[in-house]
Amino acid sequence: MLSIGINYTQMHDSSACIVRDGELLFAVAEERLSRVKHDAGFPHRAIRACLDFAGVRADQLDEICVGWPRPHSGFVSDLKCMAMGIHPITYVNLLTTTRVFASLAHQRGGFGRFTHHFGPTRARMRFVDHHHAHAISAYAFSGFKDAAIVVADGRGAWEASSIWYGHDGALDLVEMIPWPNSLGLFYAQFTDYLGFQANADEWKVMGLAPYGEPGLDLHDFISLDHDVYRVNARALLNGSGGTSDIVKRLGPQRVPESDIEDRYKNVAYAVQDCCEQAMLGLVRHATQKTGCRNICLAGGVALNSKANGKIQASGLVDDIFVQPAASDDGVALGAALAPYLALGQRLPLTKLRQVYLGASFDDGEIEKVLRTYKIRATRLENVASTTAELLAAGKIIGWFQGRMEFGPRALGCRSILADPRDPEMNAKVNNAVKFREWWRPFAPSMLSEVADEYLEYSYDSPFMILTNPVRPEKRAVIPSVTHVDGSARPQTVHREVYPLYWQLIREFGDRTGVPVIMNTSFNLRGEAIVCTPTEAIRTFFSSGMDALVIGSFLVEK
């Protein structure tokens, strides 16, 4: 079976993937190809890249699956919520839901766009319920035979959170918490209140939270008295800008890019704390309902690595898998596998060891680009060794290797690397390269063999999606990747999964005694992560990076 999975709703993070006989071949978010961050357009570039990688034409596909139901489902659900007074009836709300419905209905949920771009196809076109697609994307790649799956996001068509039970490749819905009782909505509205972009900048709130003090009560907006949280959607959605009740209760909204007063830090602390408690409650509820202590997480809220780390360390679960593309880009993965269940078969179950699922460029292609731009480059005998030498000398390196990562994190293929031992390195990378907010922490990549030595809890963390406290005695050893609360968001690197990156970190460790490096995504602030050699070169020369290691080539300034 040859299947294309698509995320497309005109909201955010359009994406596509291609699966052949249960094997995930290629996956990419549209933003990496269009260069429009969180691109919400129809992902025709991503679909083209999937087809090209697999060497097939659209008319050879068996299944084309969108990770959303038919457009009218969400529209009907929204109208019901408004009629019942759960979702405020305002001009803006009504206009927004009608506009999205009309546009998607006109495009037959995206299938009209598909045939427009790729011509007629004999493939079956399938709509997959949004949380169902999220749940499959977590369970089918977890490596668990039996698992409780928790999905939490801003919203599906009608879902806000859901609990599923996966067993032997089958997947049952256990409980659905309907929109707008949404944890994602709760977090997004406060993200907006704090002067950041909702549904995109939640990371910033999470990073800011440890700078705040406890004590602020958000009971007006979320109740945590039961295992399943209750969000007061009316209070969150009321008024212009969607924040007026928050403003009435907590004072004026923060002006974007302005200094962060202490009261905003305290709001971030309270929001993050509520999110963690709500997620812990959902997980507790899921384990009780299913009798299963292997937990899978998906949905945008599952990108909250701090909450995920708390779940892992809580004692509530035996094992945890968080879909690395937990946000809506990842529903393409679940949608592509949904036909197995629809056809009465079992899901193909695999353990996702890596997400290097995008485009790659060999040395010949890279050399051609370097020549085109007349850039002087050295071909390296030993890429890992030379790069480690430069890192140990304090250089900030652009590192472009192999296939691009799928999901929001750079995991050593499209990364900016630096020495984590230098307490000033956080500021240096921020000032020279990332130009991003001072409080956002950088993350470490470390050899899996030394994770126990550096981190409090011994669990594998290959996708930078689980926060883990750094051991107190190691915090001063890797200060630039240890957050103010002593935590880190590590990537544990396995030799058999990514030998070159493992070798680089080991070589750095041989020189410094610290087999840990700072790893942040290869992009400038507000831009999508680079995909091609041209984008890497352009970003390199637009920033304060010292050197670029691209394939086997070294470019220095």
User: What residues line the site for Fe ion (CB under 5 A)?
Assistant: 153, 328
Quick one: tokens of 235? 């209070």
User: Residue 218 or residue 298: which is nearer to Fe ion going by CB?
Assistant: 298
User: Residue 184 or residue 533: which is nearer to Fe ion going by CB?
Assistant: 184
Q: Please give the angle made by the CA atoms of 518, 524 and 526, to the nearest 5 degrees.
A: 120
Q: Please give the angle made by the CA atoms of 357, 445 and 542, to the nearest 5 degrees.
A: 75
Strand partners, 178: 159
Nearest approach, Cβ of residue 500 and Fe ion (Å): 34
Nearest approach, Cβ of residue 327 and Fe ion (Å): 7
Listed in sequence order, the residues at least 6 apart from 320 whose beta carbon sits closer than 8 Å to its beta carbon are: 294, 295, 296, 297, 308, 311, 312, 459, 466
User: Residue 153 or residue 507: which is nearer to Fe ion going by CB?
Assistant: 153
Nearest approach, Cβ of residue 187 and Fe ion (Å): 13
User: Residue 269 or residue 321: which is nearer to Fe ion going by CB?
Assistant: 321
Nearest approach, Cβ of residue 74 and Fe ion (Å): 12
Catalytic residue status for 12: yes
CB 417 within 8 Å of CB 519: yes
Angstrom CA distances, 441 to 38, 75, 434, 541, stand at 21, 39, 12, 24
Phi and psi (nearest 5°) for 446?
A: -135, 155
User: Residue 30 or residue 153: which is nearer to Fe ion going by CB?
Assistant: 153
**β-strand pairing of 2-7 with 15-20:** antiparallel
Q: What is the dihedral of CA 419, 420, 421, 427, to 10 degrees?
A: 90
Listed in sequence order, the residues at least 6 apart from 316 whose beta carbon sits closer than 8 Å to its beta carbon are: 280, 283, 284, 287, 293, 295
CB 302 within 8 Å of CB 326: yes
Please name which of 436, 441, 448, 464 lies closest in space to residue 499, comparing C-alpha atoms.
Answer: 448
Nearest approach, Cβ of residue 153 and Fe ion (Å): 4
Quick one: tokens of 343? 């056809």
CB 517 within 8 Å of CB 505: yes
Q: Which of 12, 130, 131, 134 is catalytic?
A: 12
Quick one: tokens of 454? 């550096």
Cα-Cα-Cα-Cα dihedral sign, residues 403, 407, 412, 418: positive
Nearest approach, Cβ of residue 448 and Fe ion (Å): 30
DSSP letter string, 484-502: TTSEE--EEE-TTT-HHHH
CB 545 within 8 Å of CB 396: yes
User: Residue 153 or residue 535: which is nearer to Fe ion going by CB?
Assistant: 153
Nearest approach, Cβ of residue 156 and Fe ion (Å): 6
Q: Which residue is nearest to Fe ion (CB)?
A: 153
Nearest approach, Cβ of residue 87 and Fe ion (Å): 18
Please name which of 132, 187, 183, 186 lies closest in space to residue 157, comparing C-alpha atoms.
Answer: 132
Instruction: Write the single-letter amino acid at 308.
Output: N
User: Residue 303 or residue 384: which is nearer to Fe ion going by CB?
Assistant: 303
User: Residue 300 or residue 515: which is nearer to Fe ion going by CB?
Assistant: 300
Nearest approach, Cβ of residue 10 and Fe ion (Å): 14
Quick one: tokens of 393? 């000398």
**Pairwise CA distance, residues 458 & 98, whole Å:** 49
User: Residue 273 or residue 329: which is nearer to Fe ion going by CB?
Assistant: 329
**Pairwise CA distance, residues 60 & 65, whole Å:** 14
User: Residue 43 or residue 212: which is nearer to Fe ion going by CB?
Assistant: 43
Q: For the chain, what percentages of helix, strand and coil (3-state, to nearest 5) are there?
A: 40, 20, 40
Nearest approach, Cβ of residue 328 and Fe ion (Å): 5
Listed in sequence order, the residues at least 6 apart from 259 whose beta carbon sits closer than 8 Å to its beta carbon are: none
Quick one: tokens of 27? 């996956």
Residues with catalytic roles: 12
